[in-house]
A and B are shown apart, each in its own frame.
Chain A
Amino acid sequence: MDELAYSSRMVDWAPLGKLLLVMCLLIVGLITESIVVPMITFVIGILLMAYSTNMKIPLILSLAIGEAILIMIIGSGMISIMGDPNEPALWEGQILWFKIHMTATSFNKAWIIFIRAIAGVTLMLSFASSTPIPHLAQAFRSLHFPSEITELIVLIYRYAFLLLERFLVMIDAAQCRLGYNGSLTAMRSYGGAMAGTFIFSMEMAEKSEAALACRNYNGYFPIYRPPRKMSVMWPIVAIGSAVVLYVFGLYSVGWIDMQQIFAPLFGW
Chain B
Amino acid sequence: MSDSLLRTEKVTFSYSRKGAKVLDEMDIDIPVGKKTAILGSNGAGKSTLFSVLNALNKPASGKVYYKDAPMSYSHSGKIRMRSEVSILFQNPNEMMFKPYVEQDVAYGPENMKLPKEEVEERVQEALFAVGMEAYRKSPIMKLSYGQRKRVTLAGVLAMRPSVLIMDEPTAGLDPQMAYEVMEIAEQLNSSGVTVIMSSHDTDLVYSWADEIRVLNSSKCVYSGIPEPFYEDYQLVQKAGLLMPSVYRMNRTFANLGKCELEPYPHTQSQLSVKISDRCATDFGVMNVVKVDKDTDIPALLASEGLEGLPIGIYGMSARTARNKTEMSVDFMYNGPENCIRKCLSGEDSVLLCDPIMVDKAVSSADFINGNGYGKIDVRTV
Q: Are A181 and B112 in contact (CB under 8 A)?
A: yes
Q: Are A180 and B141 in contact (CB under 8 A)?
A: no
Q: Given A174, A175, A178, A195, which contacts B83 in the complex, CB threshold below 8 Å?
A: A178
In this complex, which of A173, A179, A180 has the most chain B Cβ atoms within 10 angstroms of its Cβ? A173
CA separation between A170 and B93, bound complex, in Å? 9
CB-based nearest A residue for B17:
A56
- Chain A residues with Cβ below 8 Å from B83 are 178, 181
CB-based nearest A residue for B91:
A169
Q: Are A177 and B155 in contact (CB under 8 A)?
A: yes
- Chain B residues with Cβ below 8 Å from A200 are 93, 96, 141
CA separation between A179 and B94, bound complex, in Å? 14
CB-based nearest B residue for A199:
B99
- Chain A residues with Cβ below 8 Å from B107 are 177, 179, 192
Chain B nearest CB, measured from A5 CB (Å): 15
Q: Given B82, B110, B113, which contacts A175 in the complex, CB threshold below 8 Å?
A: B82
- Do A182 and B113 form a contact, CB below 8 Å, given A173-B97, A176-B89? yes
Answer whether residue B87 sits at the interface, using C-beta atoms and an 8 A cutoff.
yes
- Chain A residues with Cβ below 8 Å from B93 are 200
- Chain A residues with Cβ below 8 Å from B108 are 177-178
Chain A nearest CB, measured from B276 CB (Å): 48
- Chain A residues with Cβ below 8 Å from B110 are 185
Q: Given A169, A181, A195, which contacts B113 in the complex, CB threshold below 8 Å?
A: A181
Q: Are B97 and A179 in contact (CB under 8 A)?
A: yes
Give the residues from 172 to 226 in chain A that come closer than 8 angstroms, CB to CB, to chain B: 172-182, 185, 189, 192-193, 195-196, 199-200, 203
- Chain A residues with Cβ below 8 Å from B141 are 199-200, 203
Q: Are A169 and B94 in contact (CB under 8 A)?
A: yes
Q: How many residues of A contact B (CB 8 A)?
A: 23
- Chain A residues with Cβ below 8 Å from B18 are 7
Q: Would you give the 0/1 interface string for B105-143, flagging 1 where the beta carbon is closer than 8 Å to chain A?
A: 001101111000000000000000000000000000100
- Do A178 and B82 form a contact, CB below 8 Å, given A196-B99, A199-B99, A199-B141? yes
- Chain A residues with Cβ below 8 Å from B156 are 177
CA separation between A172 and B108, bound complex, in Å? 13
- Chain B residues with Cβ below 8 Å from A172 are 56, 94
CA separation between A181 and B107, bound complex, in Å? 12
Answer whether residue B98 sits at the interface, using C-beta atoms and an 8 A cutoff.
yes
Q: Would you give the 0/1 interface string for B73-102, flagging 1 where the beta carbon is closer than 8 Å to chain A?
A: 001001100110011010001111111000
Q: Given B75, B94, B159, which contacts A177 in the complex, CB threshold below 8 Å?
A: B159
- Do A173 and B95 form a contact, CB below 8 Å, given A178-B79, A203-B141? yes
CA separation between A196 and B107, bound complex, in Å? 13
Q: Are A178 and B111 in contact (CB under 8 A)?
A: yes
- Chain B residues with Cβ below 8 Å from A192 are 97-98, 107
CB-based nearest A residue for B88:
A176
In this complex, which of A173, A177, A182, A196 has the most chain B Cβ atoms within 10 angstroms of its Cβ? A177
CB-based nearest A residue for B93:
A200
Answer whether residue B199 sits at the interface, using C-beta atoms and an 8 A cutoff.
no
In this complex, which of A172, A185, A192, A203 has the most chain B Cβ atoms within 10 angstroms of its Cβ? A172
Give the residues from 159 to 178 in chain A that come closer than 8 angstroms, CB to CB, to chain B: 169-170, 172-178
CB-based nearest B residue for A182:
B113
Answer whether residue B36 sits at the interface, using C-beta atoms and an 8 A cutoff.
no
- Chain A residues with Cβ below 8 Å from B87 are 176
- Chain B residues with Cβ below 8 Å from A203 are 141
CB-based nearest B residue for A204:
B93
- Chain A residues with Cβ below 8 Å from B147 are none
Q: Are B97 and A180 in contact (CB under 8 A)?
A: no
- Chain B residues with Cβ below 8 Å from A195 are 99
CA separation between A200 and B141, bound complex, in Å? 8
Q: Are B113 and A173 in contact (CB under 8 A)?
A: no
Chain A nearest CB, measured from B103 CB (Å): 9
Answer whether residue B287 sits at the interface, using C-beta atoms and an 8 A cutoff.
no
**What 4 pairs across the A-B complex have the smallest Cβ distances?**
A177-B108, A178-B111, A169-B94, A173-B97
Q: State the B residues within 8 Å of A (CB).
A: 18, 54, 56, 75, 78-79, 82-83, 86-87, 89, 93-99, 107-108, 110-113, 141, 155-156, 159
Can you list 20 A-B pairs, Cβ within 8 angstroms, ordered by A? A173-B89, A173-B94, A175-B78, A175-B82, A176-B82, A176-B86, A176-B89, A176-B95, A177-B82, A177-B159, A178-B82, A178-B111, A180-B79, A181-B79, A181-B83, A185-B110, A185-B113, A192-B97, A192-B98, A200-B93
For the complex with contacts A177-B107, A177-B155, A178-B79, 20 further pairs of A-B residues with Cβ separation under 8 Å are: A7-B18, A169-B94, A172-B56, A174-B97, A175-B56, A176-B87, A177-B82, A177-B86, A177-B111, A177-B159, A179-B107, A181-B113, A182-B113, A185-B110, A185-B111, A185-B113, A192-B97, A195-B99, A196-B96, A200-B96
